[in-house]
Amino acid sequence: MRLGKPRWLTASAVAFLLPSLLVGLATVAIAATAPLPGDPKKGETLYNQSGCSTCHGASLTGGIGPPLAPIKKLPDTQNPLDPQYLIDTITNGKSVGGGYGTMPPKGNAPQLAAQDIQDLAAYIIQTNQVPAGTRPYSPDQLAKSTIAWVTIGTLAMLALTYLLSRYNMRCIAFKSRRHV
């Protein structure tokens, strides 16, 4: 006869600990994403109103200027989605090269304030992070979705643990009847 903790205890511990681990990892992943420098909704409005679409296209696909979604990696940058790189490029302009024209400072929209430029950068970053045709979850929607899926996973693991324990008990009963 084997002494020690029962098998069902280990299975139950896994059933409870695994969802906790998944929630912890999801929380770390969400916290690790850098905040956007501005408001992407305001940035989208500014993009269409301030003439950015004239060079970069109505849907950021490019034209006279390089495409911004997906953003074209130019030779002078490691990360074209770096907020500071985008803010500096919009603020100071750029001689792009590679068949593209020169971007004037503030894209020939001198009325753009520093916050407007941050909003434009946020719009470009968010558009590149979200696949075309999808809408990002709001923080409330993301929290509700995470809670729902963790709950479903936990209940599924509990049901599986119950079924496995019933199966093990039947096997033990069957083996004990055979050895009598």
CATH classification of the domain holding 122: 1.10.760.10
Domain boundary among 129, 151, 168: 129
Same domain, 45 and 100: yes
In this structure, are residues 39 and 122 in contact, taking their beta carbons and an 8 Å threshold? yes
- 146 in any annotated domain: yes
Q: Which domain holds residue 151?
A: 138-178
Take residue 67 and report the two structure tokens written for it. Answer: 């495409």
Grouping H, G, I as helix, E, B as strand and the rest as coil, residue 96 is strand
Domain boundary among 90, 108, 129: 129
Q: What is the pLDDT of residues 129-162, one digit of tens each?
A: 876 556 666 777 888 889 999 999 999 999 999 9
At 84, which helix (H) or strand (E)? Answer: helix 83-92
Same domain, 123 and 152: no
Give the total number of structural domains in the chain: 2
Q: What is the largest CA-CA distance in the chain?
A: 93
- Whether residue 29 is predicted with pLDDT greater than 70 in this model: the reply is no
Site of tokens 């503030």: 106
pTM: 0.58
How many other CB atoms are found less than 10 A from the CB of residue 13? 12
